[in-house]
Amino acid sequence: MNETIELLQNHRSIRKLKDEPLSGDVIHTLVESAQMASTSSFVQAYSIIGVTDRPKKEKLAQLAGNQPYVAENGHFFVFCADFHRHIHAGEMEQTDVIPAIESAEKMIVAVTDAALAAQNCSIAAESMGLGICYIGGLRNNIEEVSELLQLPDYVIPLFGIAVGFPEAEPDRKPRLPLEGIYFENAYPAPDKHTEQLRAYNDTISAYYEERTAGARSDRWTQQVSGLLKDVKRPHMKQFLENKGYNRR
Amino acid sequence: MNETIELLQNHRSIRKLKDEPLSGDVIHTLVESAQMASTSSFVQAYSIIGVTDRPKKEKLAQLAGNQPYVAENGHFFVFCADFHRHIHAGEMEQTDVIPAIESAEKMIVAVTDAALAAQNCSIAAESMGLGICYIGGLRNNIEEVSELLQLPDYVIPLFGIAVGFPEAEPDRKPRLPLEGIYFENAYPAPDKHTEQLRAYNDTISAYYEERTAGARSDRWTQQVSGLLKDVKRPHMKQFLENKGYNRR
């Protein structure tokens, strides 16, 4: 196992970060690493906003559901799906690019491009000994987040990444068994799933029991059912359409 | 610059790979690395299909628009958005999770989860000296790809990754200038974009001119306008809805 693979497999999200700004050089390296990720047909359909302004960070922390590490960290990145610059590109070439950009297909492209870049940024940060935590909570109040960052049409703030020197070292959380997410040549029959989920529930319950002296013993199926019992962020479909995505 | 960052910044897509199967151990390591990526609220909303069956690989290569490296490689992964197992989880907990899964929000979650895992897989592969190429072309004929891999509802094949020993070493393609995709605290004014795109056009034209002895000198704005002048994959919206995504 080489160093990079060890790093990848040693990931954990860090929710307690030193409130001490990263240097400009470090931020530069993280963004350059993000940029070298693969991008669909070279469209580079994303932007990154680095938030350094203290009141803005505090506002974002509140909008993300009062997550203090959105304000207290070394740097806060917001990763956005972005086809805005392609509208300018189309204008420069007298081409109407809007119908294509408004397709569901291009939404998939932009979300994927942004996520690949974000993961490169995260790995680069972790390789420097920094901790990271993805913040999907920005989508709780996505309209307000967009206004705060002055995002125009065709730009969607997808998630944030808080980066900084770690002040906690949580345990590595066991993932689904490899056989539960990786299949050869075809998707497995449904009964296979239920069997694997039962075994995984035991793993996850044991993980929590050990770490809480028996106070907590959640099953994974219980956690995800709790999470999925209500429709969260029901505004997303309309928001995407308003911003010019997912219209056709 | 540490080794991992050097690796990230040295990425290029490899479209000529040795047609020699990767070992089971290597595949295992790649999938385990993928699994350790961050995942939204621990939902792990993706699956990976490894395609080893020769006729299936050839069929996929054809469905992806006759891309030979989909069949000829060391291993071919298909990354899927997957909330299928969460339906089973919901059943095990007597919870109706379907309305939440069918929301646009959960589509964003699943695409992001799959992309973060895919990027970990790619970086792990590159760290072993393997080459990779993402294959969005699977979405050209997404219905047929889904049937071929026997994907049930709530599973969407987003893209493939061809992995293998590289048989070519293309040049590193210059990305948008850092100031063109990274902004501090707020999105920039529109005129800023046009100015940067002009400068970037010069960079990209020079890149092609140098590599084709002047035969080719595409501007980036020309490439993306060409790509976006027609609505590609117009079936995506209906396909997503048919499979249970993006319905509300």
Task: Give the three-class secondary structure for B155.
Answer: strand
d(CA B3, nearest CA chain A) in Å: 8
Which residue out of B12, B163, B193, B224 would a mutagenesis test of the A interface target, given it has the greatest number of A Cβ atoms within 10 Å?
B224
The residues, any chain, with a CB within 8 Å of residue A210's CB and separated by 6 or more, are: none
Q: Tell me what the mean pLDDT of segment A103-124 comes to.
A: 98
Q: What residues of chain A lie within 8 A of the CB of B44, using their CB?
A: 175-176, 181
Helix (H), strand (E) at residue A47: strand A46-51
pLDDT band at A217 (very low <50, low <70, confident <90, very high): confident
pLDDT, tens digit (0-9, with 9 covering 90-100), for B38-83: 999 999 999 999 999 999 999 999 999 999 999 999 999 999 999 9
Interchain CB distance below 8 Å, A115 and B120? no
Note whether A183 contacts B49, CB cutoff 8 Å. Answer: yes
Residue B240 is predicted with a pLDDT of: 98
Chain B residues whose beta carbon lies within 8 Å of the beta carbon of residue A22: none
Give the chain A residue nearest B135 (alpha carbons). A40
Q: DSSP secondary-structure letter at B17? A: B
**Least confidently predicted of A74-78, A96-100, A195-199, B51-55:** A195-199
Residue B190 above 90 pLDDT? no
Which among B93, B44, B96, B84 is positioned nearest to A222, based on CA atoms? B93
Chain B CB contacts of A43 under 8 Å are 224, 227
Which chain B residues contact residue A234 at CB under 8 A? 103, 105, 248
Residues 6+ apart with CB under 8 A from A11: A126, A172, B36, B37, B38
Which of B84, B105, B237 lies closest to A233 in CB terms? B105
- The pLDDT value recorded for residue A189 is 87
The whole-number average pLDDT for the span B177-182 is 95
- Residue B17 CA to chain centroid, in angstroms? 17
Mean pLDDT score of chain A, rounded to an integer?
96
Average pLDDT over residues A221-242: 98
Q: What percent of chain A has pLDDT over 70?
A: 100
Give the percent of chain B with pLDDT over 90.
93
B195 or A203, greater pLDDT? A203
In the sheet where A131-135 sits, what is the strand order? Answer: A131-135, A155-164, A75-82, A46-51, B182-184
CA distance B38 to chain A (A): 7
CA separation for the pair A188, B48 (Å, rounded) = 12
CA distances from B202 to A86, B182, B190, B196, B218 (A): 17, 20, 20, 10, 9
How far away is chain B from the Cα of A65, in angstroms, using its nearest Cα? 14
CB contact under 8 A, B53 and A96: no
- In the numeric block, the tokens 């990767």 are attached to B22
Residue of A nearest to B80 (CA): A181
Asked whether the predicted pLDDT for residue A56 surpasses 90, the reply is yes
Q: Which residues is B51 bridged to in the sheet?
A: B76
**Nearest by CB to A8, which of B33, B190, B225?**
B33
Interface test with chain A among B7, B14, B31, B85, by most A beta carbons within 10 Å = B85
Which CA distances in Å does A95 have to A74, A170, B184?
42, 51, 30
A205 confidence band (pLDDT: 50, 70, 90): very high
Residues of chain B contacting residue A208, judged by C-beta atoms under 8 Å apart: none
Read off the pLDDT of residues B78-116 as tens digits, 9 standing for 90 and up: 999 999 999 999 999 999 999 999 999 999 999 999 999
**pLDDT band of A208, cuts 50, 70, 90:** very high
Q: Is the pLDDT of residue B1 over 90?
A: no
Q: Which tens digits make up the pLDDT trace of A143-172?
A: 999 999 999 999 999 999 999 999 998 999
pLDDT score at A194:
87
pLDDT at A1: 85
Q: How far apart are CA A92 and CA A186, in angstroms?
A: 45
- Chain A residues in contact with B136 by the CB 8 A cut-off are 40-41, 109
Q: Do A182 and B122 touch (CB under 8 A)?
A: no
Q: How many CB atoms lie within 10 A of CB A91?
A: 16
Band of residue A193 on the pLDDT scale cut at 50, 70, 90? confident
Mutate to test the interface with A, among B228, B238, B245, B247 (most CBs of A within 10 A): B228
Identify all chain B residues contacting A200, using CB atoms and an 8 Å cutoff: none
Q: Who among B35, B100, B172 is closest to A228 (CB)? A: B100
Asked if the model's pLDDT at residue A233 lies above 90, the reply is yes
* pLDDT confidence band for B244 (50 / 70 / 90): very high
Q: Are strands A46-51 and B182-184 parallel, antiparallel or unpaired?
A: parallel
- Residue B217, pLDDT > 90, answer no
Q: Smallest Cα–Cα separation from B57: which of B128, B167, B138?
A: B138
- Using an 8 Å Cβ cutoff, are B186 and A49 in contact? yes
Q: Which residues of A touch B218 (CB under 8 A)?
A: none
Cα-atom radius of gyration of chain B, to the nearest Å? 20
Reported confidence tier of residue B223, pLDDT bands at 50, 70, 90: very high
B-chain CB neighbours of A31 within 8 Å are 178, 181-182
Contact flag B115-A120 (C-beta cutoff 8 Å): no
Give me the amino acid identity at B135. I
Give the chain A residue nearest B246 (alpha carbons): A237
Q: Percent of chain B, pLDDT > 70?
A: 100
What does residue A103 show for φ and ψ, rounded to 5 degrees?
-80, 155
pLDDT reported for residue B189: 87
Concatenate the DSSP letters of all residues of A56-105 into one string: HHHHHHHHTTS-GGGTSSSEEEEEEEE-HHHHHHHHHTT---HHHHTSHH
pLDDT given at position B216: 87
Indicate whether B192 pLDDT > 90.
no
Distance from CA of A207 to the nearest CA of B (A): 14
Tokens at A16, concatenated: 């307690």
Residue B194 has pLDDT above 90, yes or no: no
> Phi and psi at residue A78, in whole multiples of 5°?
-115, 120
- Arithmetic mean of pLDDT, B196-204: 95
The whole-chain average pLDDT of chain B stands at: 96
ipTM for this model: 0.98
Give the chain B residue whose CA is nearest to the CA of A222. Answer: B93
Q: Give the H/E segment covering residue B46.
A: strand B46-51
Number of neighbours of residue A171 by Cβ within 10 angstroms? 9
